[in-house]
């Protein structure tokens, strides 16, 4: 639909005007990843064993940081009202915002974590499963994050609350995502956890836009 | 003023039923908990493997059952509120959530106290414990979200949505942690409560479980009445909108008159914490309810808010 | 074509703002909402946009309850709230462009001319004054057509000329068969206006 692409275009152009908002999550993720080898010591085996967890924690935190741009700036200047009043179906609006976030934060985050994987001594075979897991998991994280942001839109102290609400929900993604990399490192099949991640993604895709749409409507009531 | 605001809908019939039910529920609760305690602490035999420490099971397992049971109630209430706009569902969910959070915390604490003498560790990352921990955070998130809004109606709707998200997610979490455990811990010998339960142990367990259910019913009714009274007062702007709060969990001091086969350090705190928390929750709910219902009684003229 | 409000009731938080509020507007009608601060003008406007749901009563557009198809109703109206609804990182032209595009139409390039801000069209909004932003926000009304206008304090931050332009625009809109509902606490009278005083709980259309 033309309107959907207009929305996406708007999101991307806005991000282009506010580049700092977009690069900040990436910078934070990189810094956190750097802290791991610095605090654990450079021993390659240890780094390799901790790499899956470290990469996912960093990606999760980085994605969390990028989420507050999603609705709040539009809410604060009144453009969220205008977006909804343009007659765009709300689930589509949510999907458009999520896709924007995924393209701007999640996808670059995947690229960065792959790069950091090199610094953490991941073997070559682990990179493809890691990339796939990050893409699927990142998309699910984005959808879940969008839903939670919509829920906390009108709340006081929304920021801290978002973390508390989001992190339990992202646990399965972290488990299977890190599990994918661990499986790759131990020469176990990576397809089962990847399939689960795919399933979680499809589930999120089916449910989150509608739940977020309900939450948005409530927030603006 | 004949405004029909669904948010203020007065579930009078349900409240009347609740009021008549309360004394019976309290009586059943007292009898069952009393009997259960006697069986649990005295009359039931010690386990051949675990010794006296098995007595912790009689508070731990029912608490865990209640944690899940109450969450189902919260979720069901939230669903009925969101889909059918049934105000009673929302009130029940709001009243039940803190009770569920307390039971979850108790399950975790008593579990820890049981785990240390049995497994040698205060905590273990198996599927059940991790899911219960996440359940605790879901409860906290639910209560936190509800109270984070200036407009209480918005808070209850947002919290209801969250409850539904949590319901979908809970089995997923259980499954994923299970998977994670099978991947990392192929040989798991940890089982709660033993492979089969002897009837001498089953009875105290069931009685405590039913006793806890009546506790939940009693405190639930008290909190329900409290919340209805609070909403009436809020409707007339007599109170600020911030009402419910978490019951504080405090560890009790131990009065060891029964060594519990060397496990006194674990058994008594488990029971102590359980009954302290439950008693504090009960007392706070009852006091608040008395105060608010009295305030409603003192209102000048009975406006029919229906 | 008509906008009908039937027995609307509204509450904000725990306060009841108004009840049993009804009115009926046809093509060419201009309704001005008057009332003290906090009396519910903004709330009523938001109810009319469909963004908020009334605690009681219903709203009909052309005889159909708006809740039956909110998205179609949205496209029939323009709303200007307290906040301008403009992205400060975008230029005026970009704001109007996206605004129209998301409604499925194309922006009328001459809209900015009407409010004498065509010269600012390529400046980022964040560099402009409050009055200039308000004019651009008003220009959005003309950038894509809609029969119903719901405006909340549209003359806020406008200078004398701006207010005159606003009045002219409103007159043209109503003369062309449009409907407008405006919340305003200033006492500038408009010749076409019907006035609705909102005091707590009661209303009297005059």
Question: Within this chain, do residues C19 and C101 fall inside the same structural domain, yes or no?
Answer: no
Q: Is residue C175 part of a domain?
A: no
Q: pLDDT tens, B66-122?
A: 998 999 999 999 998 888 877 888 889 999 999 999 999 999 988 888 888 777 778
Q: Name the residue ranges covered by the structural domains of chain B.
A: 6-45+55-185+219-297
Q: Using CA atoms, how far apart are residues B144 and B156, in angstroms rounded to an integer? A: 11
pLDDT greater at residue C45 or residue B118: C45
Q: pLDDT tens, C167-201?
A: 888 888 888 889 999 988 765 556 667 777 776 43
Question: Within this chain, do residues C156 and C64 fall inside the same structural domain, yes or no?
Answer: yes
Q: What is the span of the domain harbouring residue A58?
A: 2-219
Q: Is residue C173 part of a domain?
A: no
Q: What is the pLDDT of residue B1?
A: 36
Q: What is the span of the domain harbouring residue C21?
A: 1-76+148-161+181-206
SS3 C8: strand
Q: pLDDT tens, C96-150?
A: 999 998 888 888 878 888 888 888 888 888 889 999 999 999 999 998 889 999 9
Question: Within this chain, do residues C155 and C137 fall inside the same structural domain, yes or no?
Answer: no
pLDDT at A120 over 80: no
Q: What is the pLDDT of residue A199?
A: 92
Q: Is A20 on the interface with C (CB under 8 A)?
A: no
Q: Is B262 left (phi over 0), alpha (psi -120 to 50) or beta?
A: left
Q: What is the domain count for chain C?
A: 2
pLDDT at A107 over 80: yes
Calculate how close chain A gets to C172, using CA atoms only, in Å.
23
Q: Is residue C139 part of a domain?
A: yes
For B173, nearest residue in chain A (alpha carbons): A172
SS3 C19: strand
Across residues B205-223, what is the average pLDDT? Answer: 88
Q: Closest to C85 (Cβ–Cβ): which among A7, A78, A89?
A: A78
In whole angstroms, how far apart are CA C8 and each of A3, B10, C58? 33, 21, 6
Pick the range with the lowest mean pLDDT from A161-175, B2-16, B125-139, B250-264: B250-264
Across the beta sheet with C77-80, the strand order is C77-80, C148-152, C179-183, C30-34, C193-199, C202-205
Q: Hey, how many other C-beta atoms are within 10 angstroms of the C-beta on B86? A: 17
Residue C151 β-bridge partners = C80, C182
Tokens for B111, please give them. 């579990």
- Host H or E run for residue C180: strand C179-183
> C103 and A220: CB-CB below 8 Å?
no
Angle between helical axes of A19-40 and A2-17 (0-180°, round to 10): 70
- 0.90 surpassed by complex ipTM: no
pLDDT band of B9, cuts 50, 70, 90: very low
pLDDT band of A209, cuts 50, 70, 90: very high
Chain C: which residues have CB within 8 Å of chain B? Answer: 9, 11-16, 19, 55-56, 201
pLDDT greater at residue B57 or residue C62: C62
Q: What is the domain count for chain A?
A: 1
> A164 and B164: CB-CB below 8 Å?
no
Q: What is the pLDDT of residue B245?
A: 30
SS3 B62: helix
Across residues A193-198, what is the average pLDDT? Answer: 91
Question: Within this chain, do residues C198 and C132 fall inside the same structural domain, yes or no?
Answer: no
Q: What is the pLDDT of residue B249?
A: 23
Pick the range with the lowest mean pLDDT from A53-67, A141-155, B24-38: A53-67
Q: What is the pLDDT of residue B189?
A: 40
Q: What is the pLDDT of residue A84?
A: 93
Residues 6+ apart with CB under 8 A from C64: none
Nearest Cα to Cα of residue B157 among B225, B216, B100, B81? B81
Across residues B40-46, what is the average pLDDT? Answer: 76
Mean pLDDT rounded to a whole number for chain C: 85
- Host H or E run for residue A97: helix A90-101
**Touching chains, B (3+ CB pairs < 8 A):** A, C
Residues 6+ apart with CB under 8 A from B143: B97, B98, B101, B159, B244, B246
Q: What is the pLDDT of residue A1?
A: 75
Tokens for A169, please give them. 């929900």
Q: Is residue C99 part of a domain?
A: yes
CATH code of the domain containing C23 = 3.40.50.300
Question: Within this chain, do residues C54 and C152 fall inside the same structural domain, yes or no?
Answer: yes
Answer for the pair B7, B189: CB distance below 8 angstroms, yes or no: no
pLDDT at A162 over 90: no
| CA B228-B20-B64 angle, 5° bins | 70
């Amino acid at each position: 639909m033309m309107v959907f692409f207009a929305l996406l275009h708007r999101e991307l152009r806005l991000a282009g005007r506010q580049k700092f908002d977009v690069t900040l999550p990436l910078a934070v993720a990189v810094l956190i990843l750097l802290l791991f080898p610095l605090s654990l010591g450079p021993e390659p085996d240890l780094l390799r064993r901790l790499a899956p967890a470290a990469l996912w924690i960093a990606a999760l935190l980085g994605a969390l940081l990028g989420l507050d741009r999603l609705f709040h700036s539009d809410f604060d200047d009144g453009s969220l009202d205008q977006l909804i009043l343009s007659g765009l179906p709300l689930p589509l609006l949510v999907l458009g915002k999520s896709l924007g976030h995924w393209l701007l934060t999640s996808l670059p985050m995947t690229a960065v974590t792959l790069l950091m994987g090199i610094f953490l001594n991941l073997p070559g075979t682990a990179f493809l499963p890691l990339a796939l897991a990050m893409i699927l998991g990142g998309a699910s994280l984005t959808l879940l994050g969008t839903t939670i942001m919509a829920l906390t839109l009108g709340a006081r102290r929304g920021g801290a609350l978002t973390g508390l609400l989001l992190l339990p929900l992202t646990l399965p993604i972290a488990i299977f995502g890190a599990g994918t990399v661990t499986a790759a490192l131990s020469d176990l099949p990576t397809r089962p956890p990847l399939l689960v991640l795919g399933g979680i993604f499809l589930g999120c895709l089916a449910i989150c836009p509608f739940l977020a749409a309900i939450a948005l409507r409530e927030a603006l009531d | 003023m004949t405004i029909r605001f669904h948010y203020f809908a007065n579930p009078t019939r349900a409240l009347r039923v609740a009021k008549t039910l309360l004394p019976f529920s309290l009586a059943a609760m007292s009898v069952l908990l009393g009997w259960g305690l006697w069986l649990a602490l005295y009359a039931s035999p010690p386990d051949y493997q675990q010794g006296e420490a098995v007595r912790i099971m009689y508070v731990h397992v029912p608490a865990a059952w209640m944690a899940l049971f109450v969450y189902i109630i919260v979720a069901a209430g939230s669903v009925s509120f969101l889909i059918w706009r049934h105000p009673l569902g929302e009130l029940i969910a709001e009243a039940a959530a803190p009770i569920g959070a307390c039971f979850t915390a108790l399950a975790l604490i008593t579990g820890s106290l049981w785990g240390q003498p049995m497994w040698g560790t205060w905590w273990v990352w198996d599927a059940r414990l991790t899911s219960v921990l996440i359940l605790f955070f879901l409860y906290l998130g639910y209560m936190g979200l509800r109270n984070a809004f200036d407009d209480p109606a918005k808070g209850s709707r947002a919290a209801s949505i969250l409850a539904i998200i949590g319901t979908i997610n809970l089995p997923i979490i259980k499954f994923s942690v299970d998977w994670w455990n099978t991947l990392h811990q192929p040989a798991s010998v940890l089982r709660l409560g033993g492979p089969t339960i002897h009837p001498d142990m089953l009875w105290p367990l069931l009685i405590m479980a039913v006793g806890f259910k009546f506790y939940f019913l009693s405190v639930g009714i008290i909190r329900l009445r409290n919340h209805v009274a609070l909403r009436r007062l809020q409707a007339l702007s007599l109170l600020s909108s911030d009402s419910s709060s978490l019951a504080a969990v405090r560890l009790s001091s131990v009065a060891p008159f029964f060594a519990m086969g060397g496990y006194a350090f674990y058994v008594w705190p488990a029971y102590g914490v359980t009954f302290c928390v439950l008693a504090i929750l009960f007392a706070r709910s009852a006091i608040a309810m008395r105060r608010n219902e009295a305030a409603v009684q003192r209102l000048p003229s009975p406006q029919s808010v229906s | 074509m008509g906008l009908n409000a039937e027995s609307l009731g509204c509450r904000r938080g725990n306060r009841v703002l108004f009840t049993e509020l009804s009115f009926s507007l046809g093509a060419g009608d201009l309704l001005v909402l008057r009332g003290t601060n906090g009396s519910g003008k903004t709330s009523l406007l938001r109810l009319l946009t469909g963004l908020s749901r009334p605690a009681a009563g219903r709203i009909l557009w052309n005889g159909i309850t708006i809740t039956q198809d909110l998205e179609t109703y949205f496209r029939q109206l323009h709303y200007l709230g307290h906040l301008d609804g403009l992205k400060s990182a975008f230029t005026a032209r970009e704001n109007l462009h996206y605004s129209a595009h998301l409604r499925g139409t194309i922006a009328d390039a001459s809209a900015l001319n009407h409010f004498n801000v065509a010269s600012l069209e390529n400046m980022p909004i964040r560099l402009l004054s409050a009055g200039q932003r308000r004019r651009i926000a008003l220009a959005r009304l003309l950038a894509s057509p809609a029969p119903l206008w719901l405006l909340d304090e549209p003359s806020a931050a406008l200078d004398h000329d701006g207010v005159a332009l606003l009045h002219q625009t409103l007159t043209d809109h109503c003369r062309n068969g449009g409907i407008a509902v405006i919340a305003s606490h200033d006492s500038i009278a408009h010749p076409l206006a019907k006035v609705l005083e909102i005091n707590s709980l009661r209303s009297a259309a005059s």
